[in-house]
């Protein structure tokens, strides 16, 4: 069983996403339920090069931003999609 202090410091791993263009670069997602946070960390090989700590509301905002990034760009006149 994992030590509670280690879990609090490193969190509970929930996912790893490999960079599509940079070899060895990855985004790791970890849960920190005791602190009510989710941590996104950028790794290059075995080195963590940055972290962002998000509270619950910010995770919802991140999901909305990711969803919006998947939408087609606005057409002429500023409307989403291709046909009204």
In order of 30, 47, 63, 77, 84, the CA distances from 8 in angstroms are 11, 19, 24, 49, 50
**Those residues with Cβ within 8 angstroms of residue 27's Cβ, 6 or more apart along the chain or in another chain:** 16, 17, 19, 40, 41, 42, 43
Instruction: Evaluate the CA torsion angle 65, 68, 70, 75 in order and state its sign.
Output: negative
Is 4 in contact with 10 (CB distance < 8 Å)?
no
Its pTM stands at 0.73
pLDDT for position 84: 47
For the stretch 47-65, pLDDT in tens is: 999 999 999 999 999 999 9
């Amino acid at each position: 069983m994992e030590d509670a202090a280690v879990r609090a410091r490193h969190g509970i791993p929930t996912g790893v996403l490999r960079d599509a263009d940079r070899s060895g670069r990855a985004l790791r997602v970890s849960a920190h339920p005791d602190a009510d946070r989710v941590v996104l960390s950028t790794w290059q090989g075995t080195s963590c090069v940055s972290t962002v700590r998000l509270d619950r509301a910010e995770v919802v905002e991140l999901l909305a931003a990711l969803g919006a990034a998947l939408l087609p760009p606005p057409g002429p006149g500023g409307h989403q999609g291709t046909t009204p």
